[in-house]
A and B are shown apart, each in its own frame.
Chain A
Amino acid sequence: MSKRIRVGVVGNPNVGKSALINAIAGTNIKVGNWTGVTVEKIEATVEYRGYTINLIDLPGIYSLSNQTAEGKISIDFLIKEKPDVILNVVDSGNIKRNLYLTVQLLDLDIPMVLSLNMWDEIKDRSLEIDYKRLSNLLCLPTVPTSAIKQIGITQLLEEIINQYEKSLSVNLSQCKHFEPEVKNFLSEVQRLVEKYQPSLLDIYPRRYLLSSLLEGSIEEELEDGLKESISDLRRMVEKLFGKDVKALLIEQRYGLVLNLLKQCVVQKTSDEESVNFSLVLDKVFLHRYFGIPIFFLLLWLSFEITFTFSTPFVDWLDSTLGNMSLLVKVYLEEAKFPLWLKSFIVEGVLGGVGFVLVFIPVLFALYIIIAFLEGSGYIARAAFLMDRFMSLFGLSGKSFIPLLLGFGCNVPAVYSSRVIDSPKEKILTVLLIPFMSCGARLTVFAFFVSIFFSSHKGLIIFSLYTLGILTAIVVAVILNRFYFHLHSSYFILELPPYRIPTLKYILSISWIRVKFFLVEAGTLIFATSVVIWFLTNVPFGATKEESILGKVSKEVSVIFEPIGFGTWQATTSLFSGFIAKEVVISTMGNVYISESVEKKEESITFSEFIRNTISGFFESFVVLSKSLGEKFGFVEKKPQEQDTGLMEVIKSEFTPASAYSFLVFLLLYTPCLATVFAIRQELGSIKWMLASIGINFITAYIASLIIYRILS
């Protein structure tokens, strides 16, 4: 049996804690260049020298008195669950502020290892850190590391194990102590605790307890006597030093840090030059007047890129999957499957999964762009630029981050709202997230747009995204005016240096998301296909319209009459869309096809299939370069559109106006069950979950109504 070491990975936000764990344990924890990427505990495990080392990734904190929701998770873990070893990750380029936390961590009396991360970056910054000296001064093993360049990884593991083994034999307490000028008062606090409430000493590490009590930052129920005596003490300190205890302690901790740094850090050139690259970029991206136009230009470019790059591959996948279902059909015929089973497999399952698979290139392109935003540091700039605007409805730039992430997927966006400081602001932000059109919705848009609006694909889709944003603004204004009454409190956000995300980073983070989508879409589509197939076939022998589902949907469909798609098929598709948007098209395949489509008598052999697939893939690149050429006007664009199965049916069932109205509804109503659950969990209330569903349905209906009336 190997022995287990639990290592809490602690540090300021955005210092590379998650990246370092990924480098050590080969995991894929999410990394991004802004503060607040990790918002919950995440565990990774690595075996080393006969030990099982559990690395626990924690949200970044600036101090132990941090009161944000995600910061509490880290602090609670350190105090209540007491890891065996703390791995304190420090940004070497910003060592002063980082060591402030280190000084506080020393008070916890947990064996600790210091990792001077981003060591690769300070090389260019002409900052010199004598880490051996620092290690001696702090009595902490100190390892220069780089998560990106994989430096110092094994050494970290060695030191973690050393510290752990040492702590088993000696009763370790940190050798360097923070000794504030008020230490006499702290001893007095200790005497009071022993007198009134000695149980506190069992719960909290001693020195942490004493200073927290004196500052007044412990939330535990305190005995009245203790509370009073401590406030007397606090008043005495304040009178003696002329400032309050908290300020005094913070200043003294910083004093200690400065003292340490004086002995082991040399800044060779001035600060100004050290962050040069980022300063210049910010002059452009945060420009007083051009910053915001540039932001919108970037958003628009993202769309163009997403579509231009993915279209040829979508077409390739489309024909490949068409061929594949043909191939399967041939096999099924040979194997003499009953007709109903054949139709279920080919139309229900294969068709359904296929319709979604086709749009994987679109998603991949979208995720790549989002990954670039996340990795480069631009996301914090977007928050900066939008702060003024967000403050109009009581939000702050920080709320903008979850909203932006919502364009990828609403579910993680809901969780990322944890970084918002004020609870009310957080609720309002979460209610707005569903209006941000996610990747799954994009697949449905892309499908419809290729049928009805093929000459203005990008424009139509852009209009939908914009509509989502405008609706969010209207909803925010109304909710704030009549319910929240928020006056945005404050906005404090670190602007990290720009970093160039590595290709590996971008591809791996996008691939993880695509994979997640595939697995989820695959399972959901299969499940709903089965359910819908049965519901549309019971009672047996009846037409789909007379089936149970047909009848129920028909009843409900009346309400969609005024907005242009009062058919039972459209209604059923919307039902399934409540589960997840990626199943909408497959459901349409289930309910529309196989009633109206005559089977084309085609067949294909396996070797033909393989040949077509491979040559088609390489052709996509040719098409891509051509379409890039078209963009710049080198090549004439020629229309080519070949409708197949479902596309034909949809074209006859919808008009462009009702199709657009359908898309608007799809855009605005509840995104998916997963988001609903995430909201419930993050806001901890069923009331807000229901409110969110309600708000989405109402706005979806109103918006579709208005738009359909205008268009038709």
Chain B
Amino acid sequence: MEKSITEIEKGLRVSIKRIELPQELRDKLYELGLIPGQEIEILQDAPLGGPVKIRVGNYCLALRKREAQGIVVEVENE
């Protein structure tokens, strides 16, 4: 099943399906290693619509909620 990364529970590792963002942003994230197949997880989020901290393989990245919403991941059906 496909979901946006922001809908995923904190700490759950999922794999990226695709990125639905304007091309410039998508390319930026792609080059940072957020390519389809990459495992990521949300580690932390800030209140009041602040940014989220995600882990991409071996490193951590801060992103705004809005951009994070464009990261579509694959979750197993329960």
User: Which residues on A are within 8 Å of B, measured CB to CB?
Assistant: 62-63, 65, 93-97, 100, 127, 244, 246-247, 250-251, 254, 271, 274-275, 278-279, 282-283, 286, 288-289, 291, 380, 383-385, 387-388, 391, 397, 490-497
Q: Does B32 contact A (CB under 8 A)?
A: yes
| C-alpha spacing A275/B43, complex, angstroms | 12
In the bound complex, how far is the Cα of B51 from the Cα of A13, in angstroms? 21
Structural contact, B53 and A286, CB atoms closer than 8 A: yes
| Cβ contacts under 8 Å, A289 to chain B | 47
Q: List 10 A-B contacts (CB under 8 A).
A: A94-B58, A246-B23, A279-B43, A282-B44, A283-B44, A380-B62, A391-B64, A491-B67, A494-B61, A495-B59
Contacts of A492 in B (CB 8 A): 28-29, 32, 61-63, 67
Interface centre among A246, A271, A397 (most CB of B within 10 A): A271
Once the chains bind, are A65 and B61 in contact (CB under 8 Å)? no
Closest 3 CB pairs of A and B: A388-B50, A495-B60, A97-B33
How many angstroms from the CA of A282 to the CA of B62 in the assembled complex? 12
Q: How far is the CA of A384 from the CA of B74 in the complex (A)?
A: 27
Identity of the chain B residue whose Cβ is nearest the Cβ of A64 in the assembled complex: B31
B23 contacts which chain A residues (CB < 8 A)? 244, 246
- Cβ–Cβ contact B63 & A491, under 8 A: yes
In addition to A288-B46, A490-B64, 10 A-B residue pairs with Cβ atoms within 8 Å of each other are: A275-B58, A286-B44, A383-B62, A387-B64, A490-B25, A490-B67, A491-B62, A492-B32, A495-B53, A495-B62
What's the Cα separation between A8 and B29 when bound, in Å? Answer: 26
What residues on B are CB-neighbors of A244 within 8 Å? 23
A275 touches B50 (CB 8 A): no
Q: Is the interface of A mostly helix, strand, loop or mixed?
A: helix
Closest to A14 in B: B59
Q: Are A271 and B31 in contact (CB under 8 A)?
A: no
Checking B33, B51, B59 against A397 with a beta-carbon cut-off of 8 angstroms, the contacting residue is: B51
- With both beta carbons as reference points, the residue of chain B lying nearest to A291 in the complex is identified as B46
Q: What residues on B are CB-neighbors of A247 within 8 Å?
A: 26-27, 30
* Contacts of B1-59 to chain A: CB distance below 8 A: 23, 25-33, 35-36, 43-51, 53, 55-59
Chain A residue nearest to B67 (CB atoms) is A490
User: Quick check: A495 and B47 within 8 Å, CB to CB?
Assistant: no
Q: In the assembled complex, which residues on chain B have CB atoms less than 8 Å from the CB atom of A494?
A: 32, 59-62
| Tally of A-B Cβ pairs under 8 angstroms | 116
In Å, the complex CA distance between A388 and B52 comes to 11
A388, B49: Cβ atoms closer than 8 Å: yes
Q: In the complex, are the beta carbons of A271 and B58 less than 8 A apart?
A: yes
Q: By the criterion CB–CB under 8 Å, are B33 and A387 in contact?
A: no
A97 with B46: CB separation less than 8 A: no
Q: Contact check: which of A127, A282, A496 meets B43 at CB < 8 Å?
A: A282
Given the interface contacts A384-B62, A490-B64, A495-B62, does A94 sit within 8 Å of B57 by beta carbon? yes
Given A282-B53, A495-B53, A250 contacting B31 (CB threshold 8 A): yes
| A100 adjacent to B31 (CB under 8 Å) | yes
A388 adjacent to B60 (CB under 8 Å): no
- The reply to whether B32 and A97 form a contact with Cβ atoms under 8 Å apart is yes
| A383, B56: Cα distance in complex, Å | 19
| List of A residues within 8 angstroms of B55 by Cβ | 271, 275
Q: What residues of A have a CB within 8 angstroms of the CB of B30 in the complex?
A: 246-247, 250-251
Taking a contact as CB atoms under 8 Å apart, the answer to whether B64 and A288 are in contact is: no
Q: From A97, which residue of chain B is reached at the shortest CB distance?
A: B33
Cβ–Cβ contact B25 & A385, under 8 A:
no
Q: Measuring CB to CB, which residues of chain B are less than 8 angstroms from any residue of chain A?
A: 23, 25-33, 35-36, 43-51, 53, 55-64, 66-67
The minimal Cβ–Cβ distance linking B70 to chain A, given in whole angstroms, is 10
**In the bound complex, CA of A493 to CA of B50 (Å):** 13
Q: By the criterion CB–CB under 8 Å, are B57 and A387 in contact?
A: no
Contact A288-B47, Cβ < 8 Å, known A65-B31, A492-B67: yes
Closest to A384 in B: B62
A66 and chain B: residue at smallest CB distance: B31
Contacts of A278 in B (CB 8 A): 60
Contact A97 B60 (CB under 8 A): no
Majority secondary structure, B binding face? mixed
Q: In the assembly, what is the distance between CA of A468 and CA of B30, in Å?
A: 40
Q: Which residues of B contact A271 (CB under 8 A)?
A: 55, 57-58
Q: Is the CB of A388 within 8 A of B48?
A: yes
CA distance A490 to B43 in the complex (A): 19
- Indicate which residue in A63, A274, A283, A380 contacts B31 across the interface (CB closer than 8 Å): A63
Residues of A with C-beta under 8 A to B64: 387, 391, 490-491
A283 contacts across to B, CB distance below 8 A: 44
Measured in the bound complex, the distance between the Cα atoms of B33 and A236 in whole Å is 26
Which residue on A lies nearest to B25, using beta carbons? A490
Distance of A502 Cα from B55 Cα, bound (Å): 27
Q: Nearest Cβ distance between residue B56 and chain A, in whole angstroms?
A: 8
Most A C-beta atoms less than 10 A away, residue of B26, B44, B51, B67: B51
Could you tell me the distance between the alpha carbons of A113 and B75 in the complex, rounded to whole angstroms? Answer: 41
Nearest residue, chain B, Cβ from A270: B13
Taking a contact as CB atoms under 8 Å apart, the answer to whether A62 and B58 are in contact is: no
Residue of A nearest to B56 (CB): A97
Specify which chain A residues have a CB less than 8 angstroms from the CB of B66 in the assembled complex.
Answer: 490
Cβ-defined contact, B50 with A246, below 8 A? no
CB nearest to A421 among chain B residues: B28
Q: Does B46 lie within 8 Å of A246, measured CB to CB? A: no
CA–CA, A63 to B66, complex, Å?
Answer: 24
List, in ascending order, chain B residues with CB within 8 A of A274's CB: 58
Which of B45, B61, B62 sits near A288, CB closer than 8 Å?
Answer: B45
- A124 CB to nearest B CB, Å: 13
The chain B residue with its CB closest to the CB of A491 is B64
A288 to B35, CA, bound (A): 28
Whole-angstrom distance between the alpha carbons of A496 and B55 in the complex? 11
In the docked arrangement, what's the CA distance between A250 and B57, Å? Answer: 17
Known contacts A94-B59, A100-B33, A397-B62: A491-B51 contact under CB 8 Å: yes
Q: A286 — which chain B residues lie within 8 A by C-beta? A: 44, 46, 53
Are A97 and B67 also in contact (CB < 8 A) when A250-B30, A385-B46, A492-B32 are? Answer: no
| Bound form: Cα–Cα A64–B53 in Å | 25
A387 to B44, CA, bound (A): 14
Complex contacts, B26 vs chain A, CB 8 Å: 247
Q: Does the CB pair B62–A387 fall under 8 Å?
A: yes
**Closest beta carbon of chain B to A93's beta carbon, Å:** 6
B49 to chain A: closest CB distance in Å?
Answer: 6
Q: How far is the CA of A421 from the CA of B31 in the complex (A)?
A: 16
Closest-CB distance, B34 to chain A (whole angstroms):
10
Complex Cα–Cα for A534 and B49 (A)? 60
A62 and B51 form a contact (CB under 8 A): no
What separation, in Å, do the CA atoms of A100 and B59 have in the docked complex? Answer: 15
The distance from the CB of A609 to the nearest CB of chain B, in whole angstroms, is 55
Q: Tell me whether A384 and B57 are in contact (CB under 8 A).
A: no
- Asked whether A97 lies within 8 Å of B28 as measured between CB atoms, the reply is no
Whose C-beta in chain A lies nearest to the C-beta of B48? Answer: A388
The CA of A244 and the CA of B30, in the complex, are separated in Å by: 13
Contact of A97 among B43, B49, B57, B62 (CB under 8 A): B57
B29 to chain A, nearest CB (A): 7
From B35, B44, B48, give the contact of A254 (CB < 8 A): B35
Q: Give the distance in Å from the alpha carbon of A274 to the alpha carbon of B59 in the complex.
A: 10
The reply to whether A384 and B53 contact each other, CB–CB distance below 8 Å, is yes
Given contacts A286-B44, A387-B51, A388-B49, contact A250 B58 (CB under 8 A): no
